[in-house]
Structure 1
Amino acid sequence: MRLDAPLLDAHLVVDRGAFRLDVPLRVAAGEVVALLGPNGAGKTTALRALAGLHPLTAGHVTLAGVDLDRPARRAWVPTERRPVGVVFQDYLLFPHLTALENVAFGPRRHGVDRRTARETARSWLTRVGLAEHAHRRPRQLSGGQAQRVALARALAVAPSLLLLDEPLAALDARTRLDTRAELHRHLGAHPGAALLVTHDPLDALVLADRLVIVEAGRVVQEGDAATVTARPRTEYVARLVGLNLHRGRADGHTVRVGDGLALTVADRLDGDAFVAFRPSAVALHPTRPEGSPRNTWPATVAGVQRHGDNLRVQLDGPITVAADVTPAAVAQLHLTPGQRVWAAVKAAETHAYPAAG
């Protein structure tokens, strides 16, 4: 996979009132990139710009060497003429058309004759396992089946770029699991570039080769899953991968964070640094602990919520952290909002890395 010669080469600049999207994006043939970010980050605006549903203010969208949108040269290719397939969050299947007719719609709009379009549609419905549902209308399909029809419709035009906008968000947990595996198989077979817009880290980690994190219209971090999860660079990314993250100043094995708290860390470094540690690494005590933990500080319980089989305790203090503890520990410590406790994290449980770069 050659990222130095991407199939999609884009610089998406879109002004929408006070909000500006400014996102460079490169996707190679056969690569799946996940675009993640909090609500309002600009993910959907980026997808709509690539699809031709929202013109760029500046920058460019170049696909397979052809400019689809370049305002400086007044180059603009309408949505229906772009070699782009889109799977929308709500699928947007035509309610009055059968599954077969929905899938055949794309090829027909690209100038394919009716018979050939229907043959293509039949082939794709077979590939997504819905051949026997060809003559059903959307209201007669389950959520997972509707998602597969929408995917078949997007792929039926043989797109150079496949765009997926929260494709699994409308599904229940069980259907989501099965459909995610099915989608992974089809994305793996797609020869073009694919961009997945999602807020779900599991979808991104399972389906994508590379993650691009966007906040407030800008790219804040990108890389493969291992890189992003090991070294988050913003609080949003840290929450996404389930870590506490703090920025501070390192001097050897000590990093000063928050309100002057000195944390002893396993990694040695100097200068601006991040310190990350898992909520499960945070131990809580009714009084200041003696012995091995070198990092201790007084904290106040801000909230307690269920988190899987454990409980997640939000703590305020010199730094704000989350701690995962057992229900038995909560009962033993009588943890309630406003209670004072001591938090402790062993140096060996921390991961420190440079904030620059």
Structure 2
Amino acid sequence: MTAVSVVGAEPEAGTPVLDARLVVDLGTFRLDIALRIRAGEVVALLGPNGAGKTTALRTLAGLTPLSTGHITLGGQDLDRPDNRRWTPTERRPIGVVFQDYLLFPHLSALDNVAFGLRRHGLDRRQARQRAGEWLDRMDLAAQSRRKPRQLSGGQAQRVALARALAVNPALLLLDEPLAALDARTRLDTRAGLQHHLTEHPGATLLVTHDPLDALVLADRLVIVEDGHVVQEGDATTITARPRTDYVARLVGLNLYRGHADGHTVRIGADFSLTTAEQHAGEVFVAFPPSAVALHPHRPDGSPRNTWPATITGIQRHGDNLRIQLTGPIDVAADITPAAAAHLHLTPGQPLWPAVKAAETRAYPAATT
């Protein structure tokens, strides 16, 4: 999957390079999302397993056909079923880095990068020269003669990225590019990938399930669930105001939907939370697990937000423990190991969670 041309004018910053409406019917599943990506912009496509992320990437790459909709790249239609427009995979100005990299095992790192360049008209000497320049940019000059099996995971990822970028693609697709790496290699490779994406003049779509990869690498996030976009925007907007349970878990918040009347938000028939902000109508209420205090008994003079609950799970979460509780609402609480030992926490144990109104964040459920 490489670019149609390795030489040409670069798109101007801010120009919408990709304008797509992806509608794909696969049995009982339907993907129906719109994507627009500007020149120089990195967009992360996130969602749970089965949400449609891989289908979207395969459709853009020309590996899965559109049912309807369109894919327009650089002002040119690649796919438009209504007009019987279809561009074969190998003729799309698109570069792809797959999760397992798909390097040719019998070729050296240099010849892997040169492969796409040869396919688009450069002779062997020119292709290898340009491939060498890209390996040098990736700090891989010393590994140019090595076969993929002789490379580390991070090195193989950079070879795959060099191969995709060497042909100057209008659109770069990254399919979980860091998923196969161990934690230390992932950290170093993520930093290098961020640098190279910043320099890429075209559009980039990053498909990932890892919120840290998305927050570090992307300018904008698009969240898909069940084949539809449920939320999109920059990281600050999405982390401040999640709109689904998946997004709330992604950014580490407890999230509830209810009906507000002033400072009181009714959640379900028999439970309400007191919030710092006043609202009227349908709202979301969010607060972090760190805002939840746990008490063995109902505390005297407690905050107004307190209720009986039962522990359903205890997991390590960074330096703390994350306690999962059920009751009138399900809630996650983060506490220190020392506090957990003091409370003698075990699954099935009754407790009283408490959250101060000032620790909550309420905002309208209707999109604006």
Tell whether the structures are fold-level matches, with TM greater than 0.5: yes
- Where does 1:70-109 land on structure 2 (aligned, <5 Å)? 70-109=80-119
Q: Which whole-Å deviations, capped at 9, do the CAs of 1:101-129 have from their partners, x for residues lacking one?
A: 10011112223222221111111101111
- Which secondary structure state, in structure 2, belongs to the residue aligned with residue 129 of structure 1? coil
- Report the alpha carbon displacement of residue 96 of structure 1 after superposing the two structures with TM: 0.3
RMSD over aligned CA atoms reads: 1.1
Q: Which whole-Å deviations, capped at 9, do the CAs of 1:227-283 have from their partners, x for residues lacking one?
A: 000000000000000000000001111111145211110111110000000001001
Query: Identity across aligned pairs (percent)?
Result: 76
- Report the alpha carbon displacement of residue 309 of structure 1 after superposing the two structures with TM: 1.0
Aligned residues of 1:80 and 1:109 also touching (Cα < 8 A): no
- Match of residue 127 from structure 1: 137
Q: State the alpha-carbon separation in 2 of the partners of residues 264 and 289 from structure 1.
A: 17
- Which secondary structure state, in structure 1, belongs to the residue aligned with residue 214 of structure 2? helix
- Where does 1:168-183 land on structure 2 (aligned, <5 Å)? 168-183=178-193
- Match of residue 349 from structure 2: 339
Matched to 1:54, the amino acid is T
Matched to 2:24, the amino acid is V
TM-score by length of 1: 0.98
* The one of 31, 37, 46 aligned to 1:36: 46
Aligned residues of 1:246 and 1:258 also touching (Cα < 8 A): no
- The alignment of Structure 1 onto Structure 2 pairs a total of residues equal to 356
Q: Which whole-Å deviations, capped at 9, do the CAs of 1:70-115 have from their partners, x for residues lacking one?
A: 1011111111111100000000000000001100111122232222
Matched to 1:91, the amino acid is Y
- Match of residue 288 from structure 1: 298
- Match of residue 114 from structure 1: 124
Q: State the alpha-carbon separation in 2 of the partners of residues 322 and 7 from structure 1.
A: 41
Q: State the alpha-carbon separation in 2 of the partners of residues 259 and 2 from structure 1.
A: 51
1:194 and 2:221 aligned: no
- Report the alpha carbon displacement of residue 350 of structure 1 after superposing the two structures with TM: 0.2
- Report the alpha carbon displacement of residue 46 of structure 1 after superposing the two structures with TM: 0.3
1:270 and 2:280 aligned: yes
Q: Which whole-Å deviations, capped at 9, do the CAs of 1:186-205 have from their partners, x for residues lacking one?
A: 00000000000000000000
Aligned residues of 1:87 and 1:167 also touching (Cα < 8 A): yes
* The one of 158, 161, 164 aligned to 2:168: 158
1:248 and 2:286 aligned: no
Matched to 2:300, the amino acid is E
1:212 and 2:222 aligned: yes
1:303 and 2:341 aligned: no
- Match of residue 68 from structure 2: 58
- Which secondary structure state, in structure 1, belongs to the residue aligned with residue 266 of structure 2? strand
- Match of residue 7 from structure 1: 17
- Where does 1:318-333 land on structure 2 (aligned, <5 Å)? 318-333=328-343
Matched to 1:35, the amino acid is L
Q: State the alpha-carbon separation in 2 of the partners of residues 195 and 99 from structure 1.
A: 24
- Match of residue 24 from structure 1: 34
Matched to 2:307, the amino acid is W
Aligned residues of 2:261 and 2:279 also touching (Cα < 8 A): yes
- Which secondary structure state, in structure 2, belongs to the residue aligned with residue 7 of structure 1? strand
Call closer, same or farther: CA 1:210–1:286 in 2, change over 3 Å: same
Name the stretch that deviates more: 217-226 or 253-262.
Answer: 253-262
Matched to 1:158, the amino acid is N
Aligned residues of 1:80 and 1:110 also touching (Cα < 8 A): no
Q: State the alpha-carbon separation in 2 of the partners of residues 200 and 293 from structure 1.
A: 35
